[in-house]
Amino acid sequence: MIMALRVLAYDFGGVRITWEKDAYRVDGLGLLGSVYTLMGKQGAQRAEEQCLEWLPAAGLADLHVYHEGGDLKPLKQVVYGAAANSSISNVMMWTLEKRGIVWVRPLKPKWRGDGKDCYWLGDLITVLVTNYPFLLTRMYDSSVVRITATPPDHPLTSGLEANGTMAVTSSTVRTECAVGINSHLALEDAIKTIADQEVKVLRVHPHPHLSRLVCLRTAGRWRQHSRKHYKRYVRWAAARRGITQEQMRAGKWRKSSATAAEGLAKLEWKQIRRILGLRPRGEQVLYRLKAWAYSMYDVRNGRLGCPHEHCAHEVNVDVHHIFWECPAARKL
């Protein structure tokens, strides 16, 4: 569906962006046809809903969107020139004027569109509109709390403010408030307490004011992963980065001195702590030496160079020079 919307936007002019009234006027009426209607029906059948309150919190480097060919890629790889280290809330804000018309205001003057092309922001808007077409029909509300309960047509609605105040409407005439909501568990407990006996709350979707993990859809996951699974993946990624760093630093030693590299390779990391009589300062020196991370700053002269007093204080020195090549080091 998203690829069909993308074709409508890029090949048939389904999205028109103009600069008016100090904002980008996004006309997406061309996307609100049969494809959009079918997408909404299929989402309703799967109990899937796009959570637009989470969209501003998504980072441009982390948010994955569908690109041409159906590939799922990070947004920064799809929109060239985008501020990769920013979130969407740092780049722009939007308001819905009416069905199909959205006003997008850039948050920096250099991203304005008066007298110039739309820069990369125009492409970013088109990508977001095609991947999240409900931007064109739903009013943005950062306080909405999404609740899954039975019966499906329950009257329960809730809103959470940034200060932790929550209002829950459980019928046409009954509205209750709760304060001090500072966690997702407290939010879920408060809603279950206020809900009528006829309404059974099954699940409360994470809210941006309480959670950090961006959840852009309410549909259930295809596979249920435990917390241990994610921790194991994080450890694996960290170990992979560590191995890459270790190989890179070992390569620097081989390039500088094959003999020193061979000797340091025989000294394992865990053996450094087992050397009898070695104090913490000595352990730190060996760790930095093996990792090619020893400081080459000469404190006596306030510049980069060999720290030994009787050395020529050359600027272009390396760790091998400080410990082996320097005449002063050989005397020590």
- Angstrom distances, CA of residue 26 to CA of 19, 49, 62: 9, 22, 24
In angstroms, the CA 197 to CA 219 distance is: 25
**What letters, b where the CB count within 10 A reaches 16 and e where it falls short, cover 61-100?**
eebebbbeeeeeebbbebbeebbeebbbeebbebebeeeb
Decide: 17 and 25 in contact? Cβ < 8 Å.
yes
Q: Residue 145's closest CA among 178, 109, 121, 100? A: 178
Nearest CA among 214, 207, 212, 220 for reference residue 181: 207
Model confidence pLDDT, tens digit, residues 240-257? 888 898 899 888 888 888
- Note the pLDDT of residue 221: 57
Q: pLDDT (tens digit, 9 = 90+) per residue, 23-33?
A: 889 998 888 88
Contact by Cβ (8 Å): 205, 218 = yes
Q: What is the pLDDT of residue 116?
A: 58
- Supply the pLDDT for residue 111: 77
Give the Cβ contact number of residue 255 at 10 Å. Answer: 11
Cβ(105)–Cβ(22) below 8 Å = yes
Residue-level pLDDT, tens digit, the chain, 332 residues = 778 887 788 778 888 988 888 888 999 888 888 888 887 777 766 667 788 888 888 888 888 888 776 777 888 777 777 777 788 888 888 999 999 899 998 888 777 766 555 568 888 888 888 888 888 888 888 888 888 888 888 888 888 888 888 888 876 666 778 788 888 888 888 888 888 777 888 888 888 888 887 888 776 555 566 778 778 877 888 888 888 988 998 888 888 888 888 888 888 888 888 888 888 888 888 888 888 888 877 777 777 788 777 776 666 778 888 888 887 777 76
pLDDT of residue 298: 76
Instruction: Look at the block and give the residue holding tokens 């939010």.
Output: 187
pLDDT score at 317: 79
Q: Kindly state the DSSP code that residue 18 receives in the 8-state scheme.
A: E
Cα 160 to Cα 182: distance, rounded to the nearest angstrom? 10
Contact 49, 217 (CB under 8 A): yes
Q: Identify the three-state secondary structure at position 17.
A: strand
